[in-house]
């Protein structure tokens, strides 16, 4: 996996992830029968993982949908591909 987020973004994700995990575990101690705190803890753990690896699958998905960047040279196509649907355009 190639990192696709910067260092500041990664540090923010780690900080927010630890905050979410701490909040969710504190709430789970008080209300152990509620599942939404477990889900919040899992999402916080995912944010921590994204920050440590500096890879976000959502960012990668949107980068793939936008096509090649302008500063990269396009290689000649050897085969025809179908156009992709982009709702932003």
- Give CA separation, 33 vs 23, 26, 28, in Å: 16, 13, 8
Q: 75 or 13, which is more confident? A: 13
Residue 41 pLDDT level (bands cut at 50, 70, 90) = very high
Rounded average pLDDT over 3-16: 94
pLDDT score at 64: 84
Q: Is the pLDDT of residue 6 over 70?
A: yes
**How does pLDDT run across 54-84, given as a tens digit for each residue?**
999 999 998 888 766 665 555 555 666 666 7
Q: How many residues comprise the chain?
A: 89
43-82 per-residue burial string, b: 16 or more CB within 10 A, e: under 16 = ebeebbebbeebbbeeeeeeeeeeeeeeeeeeeeeeeeee
- Give CA separation, 22 vs 11, 51, 69, in Å: 17, 16, 39
pLDDT score at 28: 95
């Amino acid at each position: 996996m190639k990192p696709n987020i910067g260092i500041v973004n990664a540090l923010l994700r780690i900080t927010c992830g630890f905050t979410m995990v701490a909040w969710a575990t504190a709430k789970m101690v008080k209300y152990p029968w509620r599942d939404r705190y477990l889900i919040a803890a899992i999402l916080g753990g995912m944010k921590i993982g994204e920050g440590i690896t500096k890879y976000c699958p959502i960012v990668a998905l949107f980068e793939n949908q936008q096509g090649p960047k302008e500063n990269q040279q396009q290689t000649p196509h050897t085969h025809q591909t179908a156009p992709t649907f982009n709702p932003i355009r």
